Structures are given as C-alpha cells and as structure tokens.
Structure 1
Amino acid sequence: MTGRSAPAVLSPSLRVWLGVIAALAALVVVVLGVLYADDSRPGLVDARIWAAVDGVGSPWRYVALATDFLGEPLGAATLVVAAVAGCLRLRSPRAAVLVVAGAGLTVGTTKLIKPLVGRTIHGDGNLSYPSGHTAFLTAFALVVALLATGRLGLGRTAGTSLVLAAALVAGAAMGWAQVALGAHYPTDVLGGWCTALAVTPAIAWLVDRMADWLVGQRR
C-alpha cells in the first residue's frame, strides 16, 4: 500500500520542530568542522573526556565492542534488514524506504564531510570527523522513533520528545563506545550525532514528498 493511504513518516506535527533542530544540528557540524579542520590533536574538551573514558577494562570493553559492531557493515546491515522487514510487515512502505535512505545517506554524508574537514586521529591518517558509527545508529534510532510516533499517533510534544530521546540514547551509547575504544574524539562523536539530526528529518520529508508525487502521477 502506498500513497496518501500510507501514513507519512514525518508527522506534520513534528515538521517545524525537527526542521529547526536539523538546521541547528547542521550549523554545529559546520562549526566543528571548521574548528578542527586538518587537525590531528584532541581539543581541550576532547582531552578531558577522553582521559575519563578511553581504555575501559572488562566487562565494559566488551559492551563497547558489541555496540561498535552495530555500526560495522555486518551489524548495520542486520539492523537495517530487520527494520525493513518489520516496516513491511506493518504495511509501512514509506518507513521501509526511510530506513534504507535515511541510514544510507546519513552515513554517506559523513563520508563526504571527512575528506573536506581532514581531521585525523592516532597520527596514522585515519579521518575521524564526523563519526560514521555514531551517525548511523542515531539515524537508525530516529527512523524507528518516527515510525513509533506515527503508529502511536503522538502529538507534537510527545512525538518530539520520543524522537529526541531515541536519538540521544543511541548517540550516547555509540558515542561512548567510540571514545572508549579510542576510535574517535568526543567532538567527532558530536559531529556524527548532529549529522544524523540534520540529514534524517530532511530525508523523511523527501520520502513523503516523493510518495505523494507518485500517487498523484497514478491518478
């Protein structure tokens, strides 16, 4: 089932607030990118947070590794396939498209930004800003939360709260894992989180517009 009979993935009640949040998040991504362009050292905030989190021992290291796996190709693909299957089972084709497009384009955006910023870590040339792992899991959580908001019929306040809470939990979990494993600076994680907040709502809006256009073409 497609078209207007299918619910929008970006509820009208959330569009304005998520649009504002997306714009602010995009600004943060740009500002951090400028501040750390062509840098290879942690900033002051990075150093303080990294000193407290980096190099955790067991069992927390295993938790960090398990969380990190969710952002690796196999782990990410497993999450996406499971989510798409769930969306189709719930007769939500728009959400299924958003799972793939939202996560894929968010990660793609981080890959485009990395060489533009040129920030590296560990002195081995690995581009670190923004964190793709953090961007992926945050985007995935945003899509799931948007689907839940529509299914539950939540209003603007409750829906926005759910979406932001999901993004915060997912971003914090993956961000902690990346910093604890020494894969990213904390500001890389923040950049990845904000990239997801900036890109995913825009993709959701585009998915709705394209679906509505396709329905109009069939009439």
Structure 2
Amino acid sequence: MSADLSRMRMSRAVVPQPLRAWLGVVVGLAVLVVAAFGVGHAGDGEPGGAEGRLWRAVNGAQGPGRSVAHALDFWGEPAGAAALLAVVVAACLLLRQPRAAVFAVVATAAPVVATKLLKPVVGRTIYGDNLSYPSGHTAFFTAVALVAGLLVSGRLGLGRAAGALLVGILALAAGAAMGWAQVALGAHYPTDVLGGWCVALAVVPATGWLVDGAADRLAGRTPGRTAAPSSDQPPARTGNHPPANQPPAHTPARPANETTDETAAQATSEAITETANAPAGEAPDGPAGASTRVDR
C-alpha cells in the first residue's frame, strides 16, 4: 500500500498549475448560475417566454435527428456511463497515472450526485411530477469531457491559454451535444441542461483540487523513502564515526618529554630482561648503543 501511495504522490497533478486561477473563476461563475436558475425556476412546470418557444421548437425531433439524440442519451444512462468511464480509467492506468484514475471516477460521480441532491430542493417538474432541474445526463457527459481536457492538458504541458482553450472547447461541445439530446427527447427544459452543465463546471475542478491535496497528504505520511531505524536496531555506522548516542573518545595530548622518558624506560626494562636471560659471560647490547653492565 505504501508503494501505491508513493506512486500516487509522484503522479502528475490532475489540475494543471497554469489553469488553477482560471478554473477558480469558472467555478465561482458556475455556482452563481446554478443558484440563480434554481431560485428562478423553483417549483415551476412548463417554461414560458423564450425558453418555452425554444423547448417546443427542439422537442420531439424525428428522423435521423431523433436517432442521434437517442445515441447520445445512451452515454448518460448507467450502462453507457459505466462503459465510458471504464475507458477513461483504463487509459489512466495504462499511462501509470493512478491519481488520474481516481480523479476520473470521483469527478464524474460527484456532479451526478449533486444533481440528484438539487432536484428535490429546486422542485422543478416536467410531464407531471418528474423532477428536471438540473440535468444529470448533461452534468455527467460534461464532467467526462472536463476530466479528459484537464488530463490531456497536464500531460502535454499546455500553458494557461492553450489549456483553457482545450478544456473549454471539450466542455462546451459535450454540454451542447448532450443538452440538445435531452431537450430533443423531451427529457429536460433548456435551462435544465444549462444548469447541469454548470454543475459539472463547478464540481469537477473542485474535485480535482481535493484529489490532489489528499494524494499529497497521504503520500506524505508514507514511510517508504526515508524510513527511520527501529528502536531495537542500532543505527548503521558509516566510516569511523561513533554511534549517535556515544560521545567520541577524547585522548588528551601528551607532552613530548613525557613520551621520550617513557620510551627510554621501556628500552631499559627490555635490556634488563635480556641480561637476566642471557648465558653467563655474555653481555647484551644496551639501549641506543649504550653498554649495560650487570654485576654477578
């Protein structure tokens, strides 16, 4: 597990640094739009004015257009969403980016959960008692596009302008395609899909910041790289340095004359020992060429 956390820590951040400030502005604006539409359409039924005319013009598409709408709608249904998410996660794992894989799962699930929580709070209905605001299909499909845009931007090392352009185009295309499909099939009103699109814009970047922060904190507690020695095992010694808990031995300096006297005394002692062990009539050499006489 420690190795997995270390790899997650070393994985590329899911929210590229050049895009953080720009995404902060996007999140703030998206929250305001979701709140404004939610308050404005709380408890509504059929829309009126320009939204009503747009809904009646797009709703009930027939022929090839309806087939395309059904095909797009499939990717927001449980089976299609699971298949689409599996492809994204598999790509992240093949590129050895476990943090990106976690981000893909959390960042696509969180907007869907947010729409389910908001629907009963707003209380807008379509075709009777069916809650409609905001659109969960649009939120999910936009979230997948945002995740892909952020991960590709980070992998290519794009700057703020290029990265923001890539992420913006993908999010706008996905939101517009799924939003049109939902209105064409009569599942949502136009402001429902716009609200779902903004939910994804608000939740996905915030989820990325949380994933990056959590991955860094978890890996910081991992003892993988510089593990401290255990209490029952002494620290390894390097070179001639003493252990950390033992002060270095200190040998006081000795005067030169003391060393000389000690050397002479040792030589004299050795000479006396040789004389005692020598055969009779034979005198050994004394220290430093001096003669040593022993009376018997």
Residue 96 (structure 2) aligns with: 91
User: What SS does the aligned partner of 2:45 have?
Assistant: coil
What letter corresponds to residue 152 of structure 1 in structure 2?
L
User: What TM-score results when the alignment is normalised by the length of structure 1?
Assistant: 0.97
Percentage identity across paired residues of the two chains: 61
Assess if the C-alpha contact under 8 Å between 2:153 and 2:166 holds in 1: yes
Larger Rg: 2
The Cα offsets for residues 81-104 of structure 1, whole Å up to 9 and x where unpaired, read as 111111100111111111110010
What letter corresponds to residue 95 of structure 1 in structure 2?
A
Q: Which has the higher helix share?
A: 1
What letter corresponds to residue 6 of structure 1 in structure 2?
S
The yes-or-no answer on 1:134 pairing with 2:138 is yes
RCO comparison, higher one (Cα < 8 Å, 6+): 1
Residue 152 (structure 2) aligns with: 148
What letter corresponds to residue 12 of structure 2 in structure 1?
P
1:100-119 mapped onto 2 (5 Å cutoff):
100-119=105-124
User: What SS does the aligned partner of 1:79 have?
Assistant: helix
User: What SS does the aligned partner of 1:154 have?
Assistant: coil
State the distance in 2 between where 1:50 and 1:113 align: 22
Residue 14 (structure 1) aligns with: 19
Aligned counterpart in structure 2 of residue 45 of structure 1, from 46, 50, 66? 50
Aligned counterpart in structure 2 of residue 56 of structure 1, from 58, 61, 67? 61
What letter corresponds to residue 58 of structure 1 in structure 2?
G
Residue 175 (structure 2) aligns with: 171
Aligned counterpart in structure 2 of residue 216 of structure 1, from 217, 220, 228? 220
- Alpha-carbon RMSD across the aligned residues, in angstroms, is 1.0
CA shift, 1:52, in A, is 2.1
State the distance in 2 between where 1:153 and 1:4 align: 18
State the distance in 1 between where 2:217 and 2:210 align: 10
User: What SS does the aligned partner of 2:221 have?
Assistant: helix
State the distance in 2 between where 1:13 and 1:119 align: 38
The yes-or-no answer on 1:25 pairing with 2:30 is yes
State the distance in 1 between where 2:42 and 2:50 align: 16
User: What TM-score results when the alignment is normalised by the length of structure 2?
Assistant: 0.72
What letter corresponds to residue 184 of structure 1 in structure 2?
H
Unaligned runs of 5+ in 2: 224-296
The Cα offsets for residues 137-174 of structure 1, whole Å up to 9 and x where unpaired, read as 00010001111101111000100111111100000000
Unaligned runs of 5+ in 1: none
Aligned counterpart in structure 1 of residue 166 of structure 2, from 116, 141, 162? 162
Residue 193 (structure 1) aligns with: 197
Assess if the C-alpha contact under 8 Å between 2:8 and 2:98 holds in 1: no
State the distance in 2 between where 1:149 and 1:23 align: 21
Residue 83 (structure 2) aligns with: 78
Aligned counterpart in structure 1 of residue 207 of structure 2, from 191, 203, 207? 203
State the distance in 2 between where 1:45 and 1:101 align: 36
TM superposition outliers: structure 1 runs of 4+ over 3 Å:
none
State the distance in 2 between where 1:194 and 1:43 align: 21
Residue 257 (structure 2) aligns with: none
Give the length in aligned residue pairs: 218
Residue 127 (structure 2) aligns with: 122
